Chains A and B, each alone.
Chain A
Amino acid sequence: MAHDAHADHPEFLQHHFFTPEQQAASSKLGMWLFLAQEILFFSGLFMAYFAFRFFYPNTFLAAHEHLNVSMGALNTFFLITSSLTMALGVRAAQVGNKKSLEINLIWTILLACAFCVVKYFEYSHKIHAGLLPTKFFGTGGFSAQGLADNSHIFFALYFTMTGLHALHVAIGIGLLLWIYFKARAGKFSAEYYSPVENVGLYWHLVDLIWIFLFPLLYLVR
């Protein structure tokens, strides 16, 4: 289907765009606007984190000891690696390498799932230990005395921030699967790969947020 863009409409080009480039640029613009909104949306939680850390520096220092640094580091590794495979996938799409795109998407999905598995172990351990700030807080493995005063604030932030991030990971897995099946069906080409690119941008943002969450939550000093 090699044609002049204006001469006829390729299948992937929606009728309200003149050229594939215009369509790609528009969808990318929309994606970046969405990402800017995502960043602003997360910044509220980061502000809450900084404010409470400012109020209770010692509580944060003491409470963060209950997080497992190696699990956090492992998850950082998974996400950064998945970011690489995603970027390689987008590159494969750019050069029209279908096989490589599929393989890289599979790797990205697997690493995202690995992230979720680690997160599952972290969460279940903390919830059983009574660190989920609800009315059961402090009733599990840790007696209330074993925790610094106001520790529930730290754990509320921990669960909210990582929980919202994990939700993004879960949505990301869904999007990646969708892209994967589309790729297998041969929907993408070097001329048309906007969905791959935009899901890629989304996935990198998920990585980006984790890059800040990891030192703030796991590595308090």
Chain B
Amino acid sequence: MAGHHTEGTATGHEGHHHHVLPLSVYVGVYLALLVLTYLTVQVSFWDLGPLSLPVAMLVALVKAGFVVGFFMHLRYDDKFLSLIFFSSLFFIAVFLAFTLFDLSTRGKINADQSNFRPLLEQGKLETAGLGGHHGALTAYAAIEHQKKLHKEAADKAKNKGKGKKAKPKFQAPPGMLALGKTKYTQLCALCHGPQGMGNGPGAKGLKVKPAAYGRAEFRLSGGTQAGILKILKNGSTKNGMASYAWMPLKERNALAYYIRSMAFNWKQKQAAKKAAKKKAAPAPRRAAPTTAPAKKK
């Protein structure tokens, strides 16, 4: 089968030929493997961001190519053996690629489904699964978040039993509020104001004043997650709101959470003020719920 390669040693007169590679090839391949190993370790210390995994895999593939091609003689062997080897690689590629497609787009499909929105607005679904390009990640976070919500609800019920008042707190998946705040400060605060009061420096020249959702004033979105997401995506030519469709969905989602948390906290404050007025007589024993939703004892 490998008999076309007639160079190499004479192995008797039976026509039993095999391809014997010169020693220098083996040593060369060995040195290449060592250099590539050194390279992999070095590359891992560079900050290549999302490229680091593909680069590491590429180096590994080159190394694998050397081992398979020379140490395992596949380059010089019967082509049928190559067919076997590469067909196994082909099936692995299908396996990995399609599974990763699935994982990476799960959240996305849900967010774009038209029948998903009404459920969102009715508050029947947690929105953490709206995942942009980290769809699966946030879809997973959604499950974790749901668990957390259940736990907190249970804790709340316990605390009630003990007569303790739990501070109402805006619920958002972990990390989303912080991300939303960053993005808000960078992009929105200029017009909508740092506290969301619609009084940023950029608002001065505008005919239609920016929405002051810091006072729970929502004009177009209705203040729901899906509504805000829609405005962020499409913008509004009438009101002069720009479209942020270019933003990864995850970041838009975080923005919507943060904006809602502002309105939520404002409402809480108002409610606390009202309650304080009603009671009036005894001085309020407790301060109004804080605006910072971050810490909890």
Interface residues, chain A, with chain B CB atoms under 8 Å away: 2-5, 19-21, 25, 28-29, 32-33, 35-37, 39-40, 43, 46-47, 50-51, 53-55, 57, 69, 73, 76-77, 80-81, 83-84, 86-88, 91, 94-96, 190-191, 200-201, 204-205, 207-208, 211-212, 214-216, 219-221
What would be 29 A-B contacts, judged by CB atoms less than 8 Å apart?
A2-B13, A19-B14, A20-B14, A21-B16, A29-B84, A32-B84, A35-B85, A36-B87, A39-B88, A43-B92, A50-B96, A54-B103, A55-B103, A76-B37, A77-B34, A81-B30, A84-B27, A87-B26, A91-B26, A94-B8, A96-B9, A96-B11, A190-B9, A191-B11, A191-B14, A191-B16, A216-B56, A221-B47, A221-B48
Among the listed B70, B80, B88, B140, which residue makes an inter-chain contact with A29, where contact means beta carbons less than 8 Å apart?
Answer: B80
Residues of B within 8 Å of A, CB-based: how many? 61
Q: Which residue of A is nearest B99, CB measured? A: A47
Known pairs A21-B1, A46-B96, A83-B67; A36 contacts B88 (CB<8 A): yes
Structural contact, A20 and B40, CB atoms closer than 8 A: no
Interface centre among A46, A51, A191, A221 (most CB of B within 10 A): A221
Main secondary structure of the interface of A (DSSP, over half): helix
Neighbouring B residues of A211 by C-beta, 8 Å: 60, 63-64, 67
Where the two chains meet, the residues of B that have a C-beta atom closer than 8 Å to any C-beta of A are 1-3, 8-9, 11-16, 18, 20-21, 23, 26-27, 29-30, 33-34, 37, 40-41, 43-44, 47-48, 52-53, 56-57, 59-60, 63-64, 67-68, 70-72, 77-78, 80-81, 84-85, 87-89, 91-92, 95-96, 99-100, 103-104, 136-137, 140
Judging by beta carbons under 8 Å apart, are B14 and A80 in contact? no
Q: Is the interface of B mostly helix, strand, loop or mixed?
A: helix
Compute how far the CA of A58 lies from the CA of B27 in the bound complex, rounded to whole angstroms.
Answer: 39
Partner of A4, one of B14, B52, B80, B96: B14
**Which single residue of chain A is at the shortest CB-CB distance from B82?**
A32
With A5-B16, A29-B81 in contact, do A91 and B48 touch (Cβ < 8 Å)?
no
Give the 9 A-B residue pairs with the shortest CB-CB distance, closest first.
Answer: A219-B44, A36-B88, A221-B52, A215-B56, A25-B1, A84-B30, A87-B71, A43-B92, A190-B11
Known: A4-B14, A40-B91, A50-B96. Contact between A212 and B26, CB under 8 A? Answer: no
Hey, which chain B residues are within 8 Å of A36, CB to CB?
84-85, 87-88
Bound CA span A5–B41, Å: 51
- A221 and B44 form a contact (CB under 8 A): yes
Task: Decide if A204 touches B100 in the complex (CB within 8 Å).
Answer: no
Question: What is the bound-complex CA distance between A212 and B58, given in angstroms?
Answer: 10
A219 CB, nearest partner CB in chain B, Å: 4
Q: Are A208 and B68 in contact, with the CB atoms below 8 A?
A: yes
Question: How many angstroms from the CA of A29 to the CA of B80 in the assembled complex?
Answer: 8
A55-B136, A190-B9 known; 11 new pairs, CB 8 Å cut-off, are A3-B14, A20-B16, A21-B3, A39-B92, A50-B100, A73-B41, A80-B37, A84-B71, A211-B64, A219-B43, A221-B56
Check B11–A208 contact: CB distance below 8 A: no
Bound together, the chains give a CA A69 to CA B42 distance in angstroms of 11
CA distance A76 to B20 in the complex (A): 26
**Cα–Cα distance between A169 and B279 once the two chains are bound (Å):** 77
Residues of chain B within 8 A of A33, CB atoms compared:
84
Query: With a CB–CB cut-off of 8 A, which chain B residues contact A54?
Result: 100, 103-104, 136-137
Q: Which residue of B lies closest to A221 (CB)?
A: B52
Give CA–CA (A39, B33) in the complex, Å.
20
Q: What residues of chain B lie closer than 8 Å to A86, measured between beta carbons?
A: 71
B101 to chain A, nearest CB (A): 11
Q: For the complex, what is the distance from the CA of A148 to the CA of B198, rounded to whole Å?
A: 40
In the complex the two chains form, is A215's CB within 8 Å of B104's CB?
no
Bound-state Cα–Cα, A54 to B135, Å: 10
Known A-B contacts A2-B13, A211-B63, A221-B52; the reply to A94 vs B18 at CB < 8 A is: yes
**A212 / chain B contacts, CB cutoff of 8 Å:** 57, 60, 64
Cα–Cα distance between A200 and B43 once the two chains are bound (Å)? 30
Min distance, Cβ A165 to any Cβ of chain B, angstroms: 14
Taken together as a complex, chains A and B put the C-alpha atoms of A190 and B19 apart, in Å, by 12
For B9, the closest partner residue in chain A by CB is A95
